[in-house]
Structure 1
Amino acid sequence: MDRFLNMIERAGNRIPDPALLFFWGLITVWVLSAILSQISFDSVHPLTGDAVQVKNLLTGDALAHFLANMVDTFTGFAPLGIVLVAMLGVGVADQSGFITTGLKKMLSITPKQALTPMLILVAIVSHTAADAGYVLVIPLGGIIFHAAGRHPLAGIAAAFAGVSGGFSANFIPSGIDPLLAGFTESAAHVLDDSYQVNPLANIYFTGLSSILIVALGWFVTEKIVEPRLNRTPIDEDAEEAPDLGSFTAIEGKAFNRAGLAMLLGIAALVAASWPETSPLRSPAGELTAFDAPIMQSIVPLIFVLFIIPGIVYGKTAGTFKTSQDVIKSMSDTMATMGAYMVMAFFCAQFLAAFTQSNIGTLLALNGAELLQSMNLPGEMTIVGMILLTAMVNLLIGSASAKWGLIGPILVPMLMVVGISPELSQAAYRVGDSVSNIISPLMVFFPLVVVYCQRYVKTTGIGTVASMMIPYSLTMLVGWTLFLLAYWAFGLPLGIQASYQYLVQ
């Protein structure tokens, strides 16, 4: 295994800089689109009923559209705004000393042996706050491990595994639950118009999966990944590990005041969202629905909930003497994000072209149709569905987009052989999670590379991929066996969920 991972790392790091990788990916998509657009395919889009045809992106009109929309494509790239806005607030809290003192307090009460599982558990819970884990938990994983005398890249890897590899493991409902359930129900209507899928149809399975992912991530981090990384030296000019020893009286006073300010902010948010008529709720009165304003405001809330205690801490501790110090802390934070913004520009152009070309859609549909034609036994079909989803996930990042494409094919197919839509959805969620952490097309993957470069400047795609492959393979095997065992013992998947579908 070690030799294989070293080979992956060396090969991956020979790949050009991620920004150049996305540039050449864009050129490749253009060329492939021109070639494949000359071929007629039989695949039909399950949502529109139209034949899927690859669009030629090298025509005059297509290139003119590309140039006219280049700026909008970049500024509209969702992860860019999420990362930059959140980092403005987090940067203030970090440079004021608020986060460092908070880590001192946390580590003073956390046993050293529990550091890894605690980090992975926090990463899993962060799913509830949309993409917050990518900009909060993953970099903090590096800081915590570095301060504890462990390799910071191991902390980043463990947090990344929890946030992204364990994406569908959560005991707290989030916006992804009703979103996927809606697609599953629509797919079930292909065979049965009366079938209904509860938004929490997988909540028991995903809740227990949290324990599994923590255990698997803990094992892989301390037995495989960290021993390998200990042979990778941290750069001499890398970010220094914060001194997380004892804190002074003024630091304790400043943290208490800042913590109180954060708690008051959270209390005000809870009070504002509690009434059923709250404007922060969705039209249906739900807080965790994707159309609920509070879910759409997660990043601004992170900005506010960190910048306020950051300022309070800085003023009390003396790290911020004037308002200019606050602005400087924001500017310094943005200066560290330059490499990510360059990568984001090329990544946005590539993903837009890949989506417009329909190449990913065509590959996903052909894979689903191939699985359908194999007519495997139920257990083997579930395994095949997980593997298919994991592979499609390397091409199409959005969980809802993938399920919208392959769900209408796979859900009715499995219903015919007696497997319920809820079980199909659970299998999809396993496959959708485990390959996130090894997909360079995952929109936050370049950001993880940037986090690692703070400590090891030679970090490239190969370094991150070699760190995450053990997590991906372990979760793929372990989580698949867990689902099959869960099914075999007849444990409830969630609320109003079943295993069997009686063909009408």
Structure 2
Amino acid sequence: MRSAQVASATPSASGQSGALNRFLNIIEKAGNKLPDPAIMFLYATLIVWVASFLLSGISFDLVNPRTGEAVVVNNLLTGAAMADFLSGMVTTFTGFAPLGLVLVAILGVGLADEAGYVNTGLKKLLNVTPRRFLTPMLIFVAIFSHVAADAGYVLVIPIGAMMFKAAGRHPLAGIAASFAGVSGGFAASVVPSGTDPLLQGFTQSAAQLLDPAYLVNPLCNIFFTAASSIMVILVGWFVTDKIVEPRLANVKVDSDEEESDLNRQPTALENKAFLKATLGMLAVIALFVVWAFPESSTLRSASGELTAYSAPLMKSIVPLIFLIFITPGLIYGYAVGKFQNAGDVVKGLSKTMQTMGGFMVMAFFCAQFLKAFGDSNLGTLLALSGAEFLQSLALPGQFTIIFMILLTATVNLLIGSASAKWALLGPIMVPMLMAVGISPELTQAAFRVGDSVSNIITPLMVFFPLIVVYTQRYVKNAGIGSLSSMMMPYTIALFIAWTIFLLGYWALGLPLGLQAPYTYPAM
């Protein structure tokens, strides 16, 4: 696929330094010379196969902390490995986590959009939101979406683009701002989420390697992550309005007939239909609230929690999105005459799925690559090698935290799963830093920062191909380089600002969370 340069305003037009503009343009040009994302993942799979063959006979003198066994690279070019790969190719694709999440959620959101409900809702929201506060409001919503697992990727980001376009701003800036909040600010959270107990389990197990009696509170980082939300909003606001959007000034948005009337105010019929549809949506939400409220609710986990990963409610987030949006979509569509019968509804759903064809192709090849990369053990080798190097530096506490963030951000370019990274790095980094007086809670906070900031620039992040599809809806020739260069300022700014923020937070002695000391042993 040909990928044009889509974000190269002159420095004078963008108001930013020529050096930064040239740097971002280099990233964009280099990235857009890469092949189509689907082909890139195919090539990457071939490279993993060859690398696994070349490295499979080498001893690396590294021990996997999860298994206690020596790290070896598995040769994927053996007959047995290739047979296993081929026999599992279909299930690898159908089991690719983002695939089902995206397609189910987009059915509901897409029908609401096709009916016109989203369009009318955005107009009303824009009428009460000052244009200059649109960016921070969008980033705040993106951060708040962390409580709903991966909902932000399939809900907040596309709506962010529509909101910016409706406000007369560049839709790619809306994608960038919301992507930065959802993924670049993943460690920021104003309320507890399933990530907190997930990471706590790994941190506690790692700490007990050195101190068997050590316990870690699941909310040991909650105050820090809540405070980080403010920082992420401010940094994202500045980068969006002062760097990213000015660079998009000369980028032409391809016409989209679905949004051609965004500047027209809703009619009386549309207002009445919107009220009915919104009441329908609130009724669905109220139904689930009533269902989830009792302590004995079947939507709770075995321990009675609603936000635990094992809670049926958390596992039902995507179906909830589907129901919450398809309900007002149906009500609104019938009320304004967009839908006359069930056939019209099916056509609307089909039209939504037609826009996801490119993502499904990319998802197929991405799933095969991630399967091969995981089976080869190359990710484990790279992660543990980086941790061993950091350990060999024996740096002072503050510098160790900085390099911990840098190491995590680097490993994040290769291993997207936070739990997989922390399962590998935690048993090494937590005891190592405990030995020099740094608490497991502070180490986990540093990991969460590094785990967030580089999410938005790596094509290996499982939702990255989906974001490329979002950008191509508005700028058809956008490519990997276009998205990476657009998001690079956020990564740089968040890495610097968040690192300083954590060090300053530490210096002031502000509480990280519940029962969360900075030092070990606690002072």
- Alpha-carbon distance between aligned partners in 2 of 1:450 and 1:18, rounded to the nearest angstrom: 10
Choose which of 10, 21, 29 in structure 2 pairs with 1:2: 21
Please name the residue that 1:97 is paired with.
116
Equivalent of residue 391 in structure 1, options 410, 429, 434? 410
C-alpha separation between the residues in 1 aligned to 2:70 and 2:221?
33
Given that residues 162 and 214 in structure 1 are in contact (C-alpha distance below 8 angstroms), is that contact kept between their aligned partners in structure 2? yes
User: Letter of the aligned partner of 2:90 in structure 1?
Assistant: V
SS in 2 for 1:454: helix
Contact 1:101/1:244 (<8 A) preserved: no
Q: Which one of 130, 135, 142 corresponds to residue 149 of structure 2? A: 130
- What residue number does 2:177 align with? 158
**1:236 & 1:500 partners in 2: Cα distance?**
56
1:340 paired to 2:359: yes
Q: Tell whether 2:400 aligns with 1:378.
A: no
Given candidates 269, 275, 291, the residue that maps to 2:310 is 291
Deviation at 1:241, TM superposition (A): 4.6
More displaced 10-residue stretch of structure 1: 138-147 or 232-241? 232-241
- Given the alignment of the two structures, is residue 114 of structure 1 paired with residue 133 of structure 2, yes or no? yes
Q: Number of paired residues?
A: 504
Q: Which runs of 5+ in 1 are unaligned?
A: none
Give the whole-Å Cα distance in 2 for the aligned partners of 1:326 and 1:128: 31
Match in the other structure for 1:362 = 381
> Closer, same or farther in 2 for the Cα pair 1:291/1:249, shift >3 Å?
same
- Asked if the contact 2:109/2:325 (under 8 Å) is kept, the reply is yes
AA in 2 matched with 1:397 = G
CA contact (8 A) 1:143 1:242 kept: no
TM-score (norm 2): 0.95
Shift in Å, 1:240: 3.8
Runs of 4+ in structure 1 off by over 2 angstroms are 235-242
Match of 1:185 among 186, 204, 227: 204
Contact 1:265 1:305 in 2 (8 A): yes
1:440 paired to 2:440: no
Counterpart of 1:40 in structure 2 is 59
How far apart are the structure 1 equivalents of 2:112 and 2:140? 23
Partner of 1:12: 31
| Counterpart position of 1:449 | 468
d(CA) in 1 for partners of 2:345, 2:327: 11
| 2:449 aligned partner, one-letter code | V
Select which of 72, 79, 102 maps to 1:60: 79
Aligned in 2, Cα 1:365/1:242: closer, same or farther, shift over 3 Å?
farther
Match of 1:322 among 341, 350, 353: 341
Deviation of 1:315 (Å): 1.2
In 2: Cα distance, 1:53 partner to 1:293 partner? 37
SS of 1:15's partner is coil
Tell me how far 1:141 sits from its aligned partner: 1.1
Q: TM-score, normalised by structure 1?
A: 0.99
- Rounded to whole Å, the distance in 2 between the matches of 1:104 and 1:441 is 35
Contact 1:416 1:503 in 2 (8 A): no
1:503 deviation in Å? Answer: 8.4
* Alignment pair present for 1:311 and 2:293: no
Alpha-carbon separation, structure 1, partners of 2:309 and 2:262: 40
8 Å CA contact 1:143–1:241 kept in 2: the answer is no
Deviation per residue, 1:186-237 (Å, 9 max, x gap): 0000111111111111000000100000000000001000000112112246
Assess, with a 3 A threshold, how the Cα gap between structure 1 residues 159 and 242 changes in structure 2: closer, same or farther: farther
Q: Distance in 2 between matches of 1:81 and 1:333?
A: 15
SS at match of 1:290: coil
After superposition, what is the alpha-carbon deviation per residue over 1:40-90, rounded to whole angstroms, capped at 9, x for unaligned? 121111111011110000000111111100000000000010000001111
Q: CA deviation at 1:244?
A: 4.1
CA drift of 1:245 comes to 3.7
Q: Cα distance 1:503–1:178, how it changes in 2: closer, same or farther (>3 A)?
A: closer
Please state whether the residue corresponding to 1:153 is helix, strand or coil.
helix
Q: Could you give the per-residue CA deviations for residues 256-283 of structure 1, whole angstroms, max 9, x where no partner exists? A: 1111111111111111111111111111
**Could you tell me which of 279, 283, 305 is aligned with 2:298?**
279
**Residue pair 2:122, 2:166 contacting (<8 A) in 1 also:** no
1:203 corresponding residue in structure 2: 222
Give how far 1:337 is off.
Answer: 0.4
